[in-house]
Amino acid sequence: MKYLEEFRNPDLARRLLDDIHATVTRPWALMEVCGGQTHTIIRHGIDQLLPDQVELIHGPGCPVCVTPLETIDKALEIASRPDVIFCSFGDMLRVPGTDRDLFRVRSEGGDVRVVYSPLDALKVARENPRKEVVFFGIGFETTAPPNAMTVHQAHRLGIRNFSLLVSHVRVPPAIEAIMRSGDCRVQGFLAAGHVCSVMGVDEYPELAARHRVPIVVTGFEPLDILEGVRRAVQQLERGEHRVDNAYARAVRPRGNPAAQAMIADIFEVTDRSWRGIGTIPDSGWRLSARYRDYDAEHRFAVTGITTEEPAACRSGDVLQGLIKPHECPAFGTDCTPRTPLGATMVSSEGACAAYYLYRRLGTPTAPPLEATPVV
């Protein structure tokens, strides 16, 4: 299969690793921004195959994980109403709110449905005109275009019983917030290729120059990650700090103009709260005034819900790269995939879930790359 086996080739991986080992002369800390990249790194033991001087820090790149607790509680409040059909992607159903999750709401009689596209939720709305249908619209720039298109379609078709609970976030302001943090150790970034395939790379050169960090746009297969690390380390060793696109097979410099135009029409930039991190200015989108009638927060008057994160969950520190998942006292004991304290243990892209699935508690020796399963 093209672009799968080719990017898991053990011989090419060793050549990239040899190049990294030969290049690095001092310690460097790189942050991968995407949760999918984190799972590739942990599953294939990439962080253990790299030189000891190269540390990979896991950033806030999981859209489920960064959705704030207050937004989950708003979803629970809306989904509990008898006149509502609440639609969501499956990985949101087990994310814990203050005292329950969407699975619990469904078990208590709420009409909570798993869909595979926001357009599926719009179809549900057309088929159930006497019900209010709400889609849980979360994610980074990658999922914003289809969610925007769904609102556009609802408006065009005159479907009035559909609304969107929006929790969209943007990567560049998160990088800015990380670099401005007093605890920041990050010296370079592996940027998420799917985000850049939508938005391009125009937002990143200013960040790279201002904070003097290389930003390498990277894919999601093992060789993608290794090539991204190789290019970032080369820049750091040379004292450079620029944007480098190592995922040219999918990312164009200006991204996808049609998708960007759809986002600009439907959404407007707003401050956004990130789970475990707090509010980051201009880091999210909300529905623009023209489409405010499709905003579930306003339609169901849940804008006033506020919450506090559970003290036992250190997912915020994990998302900021301040600790590794296994360094949280609750990891693997009080917090497991069956009894999660936070979204980082629930999501298929969460760092805590990756450590639990592929590494458990310790730091065992990484498996040889040729023994790594290819799926």
Pairwise CA distance, residues 124 & 116, whole Å? 12
Going by pLDDT thresholds of 50, 70 and 90, the confidence category of residue 373 is very low
Q: Average the pLDDT over 9-23 and give the result.
A: 96
Dist. CA 50–CA 184, nearest whole Å: 21
pLDDT at 91: 87
Helices (H) and strands (E) in the chain, counts: 16, 11
Q: What is the rounded average pLDDT of the residues 97-102?
A: 91
pLDDT tens for each residue of 265-322:
999 999 999 887 889 999 999 999 999 999 999 999 997 777 777 778 888 888 888 8
Strand ranges in the chain using DSSP code E only, listed in sequence order: 28-32, 54-58, 84-88, 111-114, 132-139, 162-169, 188-192, 215-218, 243-245, 267-274, 278-287
Given this model, what pLDDT does residue 372 score?
40
Between CA 151 and CA 167 the distance in angstroms is 14
Please provide the distance, in angstroms rounded to a whole number, between the alpha carbons at the two ends of the chain: 11
Torsion of CA 87, 91, 97, 103, to 10 degrees: 60
Q: Record the pTM.
A: 0.89
The DSSP line for 255-289 is --HHHHHHHHHHEEEEEEEETTTEEEEEEEEEE-G
Q: 374 pLDDT band (50/70/90 cuts)?
A: very low
Tokens standing for residue 134: 């709400």
**Interval 316-366: pLDDT, tens:** 888 888 889 999 999 988 898 888 888 888 887 889 989 998 865 454 444
Q: What is the DSSP letter of 105?
A: H
DSSP secondary-structure letter at 26? Answer: S
pLDDT band at 227 (very low <50, low <70, confident <90, very high): very high
